[in-house]
């Protein structure tokens, strides 16, 4: 019986301490640890992020996909550097940075070549401060490469000027700064891009992308088939990471 009373007293003590902690606003358990992560790109992007380990891995995988599928002239390149875990007091954001972003690379049909084949390489990095106007976004979207696209000559480079991230989907617009080969004629026009991040890519559930022409910044456009631009083309040999800071 003494043992039972001891357990009861211990349980009551733990309960009292927990209630006291809640009343004083003291957390009873530390939130998930975050890492300092820095995304840098050749277009001048330099984002300092606070992400959980899974998000850092997803971002790194997307950057690696971009490296394996160079796009543009010069091609867009990015890198991710991570630092030791933050203290628990700095982890209160629960794994979200204060930036919405979409980063990735790969190949996809219908990004500009006639008939959709062979699939064309692309590189994408776009970001906007969470809660800021969509038209304050920046970044780069490049398609094609004169060095790698036999059978689909040419490329275009564009500068992102609008980004809206909703969950695992993103829509952006960009201004084309140069275009050659089969993409000639796009220079100084506005395009829109829609992507869907389906998690770790697989043959059965790849990430999706499509682009189209639009009449202005932040406005939806139409793809090569005249349909509203939607992420309906599978990304092959690549990966897209969409992050919604919520």
* Domain parsing of the chain, residue ranges: 1-30, 35-243
State mean pLDDT over 210-231.
92
pLDDT at 29: 34
pLDDT digits (tens, 9 = 90+) for 14-46: 334 343 444 444 443 334 578 999 999 999 999
Does the pLDDT at position 150 exceed 70?
Answer: no
Q: How far is residue 114's CA from residue 88's CA, in Å, rounded to a whole number? A: 53
pLDDT at 234: 94
Does the pLDDT at position 161 exceed 80?
Answer: yes
Q: How buried is 7 (Cβ within 10 angstroms: 0-12 exposed, 13-18 middle, 19+ buried)?
A: exposed
pLDDT at 240: 98
Does the pLDDT at position 90 exceed 50?
Answer: no
State mean pLDDT over 163-192.
95
Q: Could you tell me which residues are beta bridge partners of residue 242? A: 102
Where residue 87 falls among pLDDT bands split at 50, 70, 90?
low
Using the Cα atoms of residue 175, residue 163, residue 221 and residue 61 in order, give the sign of their dihedral. Answer: positive
> Are 162 and 147 contacting, i.e. CB atoms less than 8 angstroms apart?
no
pLDDT at 243: 97
Percentage of residues in the chain having pLDDT higher than 70: 76
Which is nearest to 123 in space by CA: 64, 163, 164, 167? 64
**E-assigned strands of 57-186?**
78-85, 99-108, 120-129, 138-144, 155-166, 169-179
Q: How far is residue 141's CA from residue 155's CA, in Å, rounded to a whole number? A: 11
State mean pLDDT over 94-114.
80
pLDDT at 212: 93
Q: How buried is 201 (Cβ within 10 angstroms: 0-12 exposed, 13-18 middle, 19+ buried)?
A: buried
State mean pLDDT over 188-212.
94
Q: How far is residue 125's CA from residue 98's CA, in Å, rounded to a whole number? A: 16
């Amino acid at each position: 019986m003494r043992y039972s009373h001891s357990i009861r007293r211990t349980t009551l003590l733990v309960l009292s301490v927990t209630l006291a902690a809640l009343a004083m606003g003291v957390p009873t358990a530390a939130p998930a640890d975050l890492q300092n992560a820095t995304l840098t790109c050749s277009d001048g992007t330099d984002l300092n992020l606070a992400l959980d380990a899974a998000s850092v891995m997803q971002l790194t995988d997307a950057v690696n996909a971009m490296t394996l599928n160079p796009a543009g002239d010069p091609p867009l390149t990015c890198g991710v550097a991570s630092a030791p875990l933050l203290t628990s007091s700095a982890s209160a954001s629960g794994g979200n940075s204060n930036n919405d972003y979409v980063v990735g690379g790969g190949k996809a049909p219908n990004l500009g070549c006639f008939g959709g084949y062979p699939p064309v390489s692309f590189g994408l990095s776009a970001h906007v401060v969470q809660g800021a106007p969509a038209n304050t976004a920046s970044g780069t979207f490049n398609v094609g490469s004169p060095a790698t696209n036999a059978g689909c000559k040419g490329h275009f480079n564009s500068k992102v000027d609008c980004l809206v991230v909703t969950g695992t989907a993103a829509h952006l617009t960009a201004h084309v700064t140069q275009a050659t080969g089969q993409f000639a004629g796009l220079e100084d026009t506005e395009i829109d891009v829609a992507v869907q991040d389906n998690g770790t890519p697989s043959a059965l559930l790849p990430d999706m992308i499509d682009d189209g022409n639009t009449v202005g910044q932040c406005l939806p456009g139409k793809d090569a088939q005249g349909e509203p631009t939607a992420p309906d083309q599978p990304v092959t040999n690549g990966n897209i990471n969409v992050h919604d800071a919520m």
